C-alpha cells in the first residue's frame, strides 16, 4: 500500500528536487553545466563527507566536463529520498539496512568501527568500555534507530556492560557535540568521526568494537540518469586510490577478498 502511494508522490517530488538542483547549478554559475557537461549526483552517508568530497575532486579531474554533486546526510533519510524518486546516480550508505530499501546489488567498500570519544581533558578518566557503566558519568550514545546506536548496543552486549545513557542522540555528530562541549563525559562514535574531530575529542579504541563493525555498501543505482559515470565512480571508490583516501579518514578496508 505504501509502495503505491510512494510512486504517486514521485513525480512532483522529482520535479521539486530537479528544480532545487538546477537552482543550485544556476547559483553556482559553473561553466561545465553551460557547455553541456554532465553532472553525477552522489547520495552518501554524512560520515563520508570528507573522503568522498576528495574523491569527487579526483573524479572531476579525470573526467573532463563532469561535475560531481553530493548530497550528504543520514543514510536512512537518503534512502527514503531515493525511494521517493530523487534523481541519484550513486548511493553510499553507512549501514546495510538503508541500502536494502534501495538495492540488492550493492558492494561493501569500507568498514567503520566504534571508539569511545572523551573530552580532551577526560574528566571521567575513561580507558575502557566498562568504565562507561560508572554511575557518576554522563554518557551519550546514538539512538538505537540509527546505525551508530545499533552498533553501540551490540558493543555493550558483547562486553556485557550495562550503561545508562543520559541521552540517545539522533546522529553521531550530535554525540560529538555533547562530548566536545564537555556536557558528556564520554560517548560512542565512529573512529572516522573521532579522527575528524581530533582537535576537540580524544578517541579511545576498545576491543569489543570488533563485534559491532559497520559495513558501508555502495551502489550505482539502476535508474541512474548517468549510469555509466555512476559505475565509474563506484570503481574509483573500490580502487586502490579510493581505498587509500578512505583509510586516511580512518575507515577499514572491506573484508579481505
Annotated binding site for molybdate: 47, 75, 172, 190
Residue 175 · residue 140 · CB < 8 Å? yes
CB closer to other proteins, 31 vs 145: 145
CB closer to other proteins, 95 vs 226: 95
- Minimum CB separation of residue 2 from other proteins in Å reads 7
CB closer to other proteins, 193 vs 208: 193
CB closer to other proteins, 79 vs 221: 79
- Contact residues: other proteins, CB under 8 A: 2, 5, 74, 76-77, 80, 138, 140, 143, 145-146, 165-170, 174, 177-178, 181-183
- Minimum CB separation of residue 76 from other proteins in Å reads 5
Per DSSP (E only), the strands in the chain are: 38-45, 66-73, 90-92, 107-112, 114-119, 139-142, 167-169, 186-190, 201-204, 214-220
**Environment class of 252 (CB within 10 Å of its CB; exposed 0-12, middle 13-18, buried 19+):** middle
Binding-site positions read 47, 75, 172, 190
- Minimum CB separation of residue 140 from other proteins in Å reads 7
Residues 6+ apart with CB under 8 A from 144: 150, 153, 168
Residue 46 · residue 170 · CB < 8 Å? no
Number of Cβ atoms within 10 Å of the Cβ of 159: 20
- Minimum CB separation of residue 55 from other proteins in Å reads 27
Amino acid at each position: 500500500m505504501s509502495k503505491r502511494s510512494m510512486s504517486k508522490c514521485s513525480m512532483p517530488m522529482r520535479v521539486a528536487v530537479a528544480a532545487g538542483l538546477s537552482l543550485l547549478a544556476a547559483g553556482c554559475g559553473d561553466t561545465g553545466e553551460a557547455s553541456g557537461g554532465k553532472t553525477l549526483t552522489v547520495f552518501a552517508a554524512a560520515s563520508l563527507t570528507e573522503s568522498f568530497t576528495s574523491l569527487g575532486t579526483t573524479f572531476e579531474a579525470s573526467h573532463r566536463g563532469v561535475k560531481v554533486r553530493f548530497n550528504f546526510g543520514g543514510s536512512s533519510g537518503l534512502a527514503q529520498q531515493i525511494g521517493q524518486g530523487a534523481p541519484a546516480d550513486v548511493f553510499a550508505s553507512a549501514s546495510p539496512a538503508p541500502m536494502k530499501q534501495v538495492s540488492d546489488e550493492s558492494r561493501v567498500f569500507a568498514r567503520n568501527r566504534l571508539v569511545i570519544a572523551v573530552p580532551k581533558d577526560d574528566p571521567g578518566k575513561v580507558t575502557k568500555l566498562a568504565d562507561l557503566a560508572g554511575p557518576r558519568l554522563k554518557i551519550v550514545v546514538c539512538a538505537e534507530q540509527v546505525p551508530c546506536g545499533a552498533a553501540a548496543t551490540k558493543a555493550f552486549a558483547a562486553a556485557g556492560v550495562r550503561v545508562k545513557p543520559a541521552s540517545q542522540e539522533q546522529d553521531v555528530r550530535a554525540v560529538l557535540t555533547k562530548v566536545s562541549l564537555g556536557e558528556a563525559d564520554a560517548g560512542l562514535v565512529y573512529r572516522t568521526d573521532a579522527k575528524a574531530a581530533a582537535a576537540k575529542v580524544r578517541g579511545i579504541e576498545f576491543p569489543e568494537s570488533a563485534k559491532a563493525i559497520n559495513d558501508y555498501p555502495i551502489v550505482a543505482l539502476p535508474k541512474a540518469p548517468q549510469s555509466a559515470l555512476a559505475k565509474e565512480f563506484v570503481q574509483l571508490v573500490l580502487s586502490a586510490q579510493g581505498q587509500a583516501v578512505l583509510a586516511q579518514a580512518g575507515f577499514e578496508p572491506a573484508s579481505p577478498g
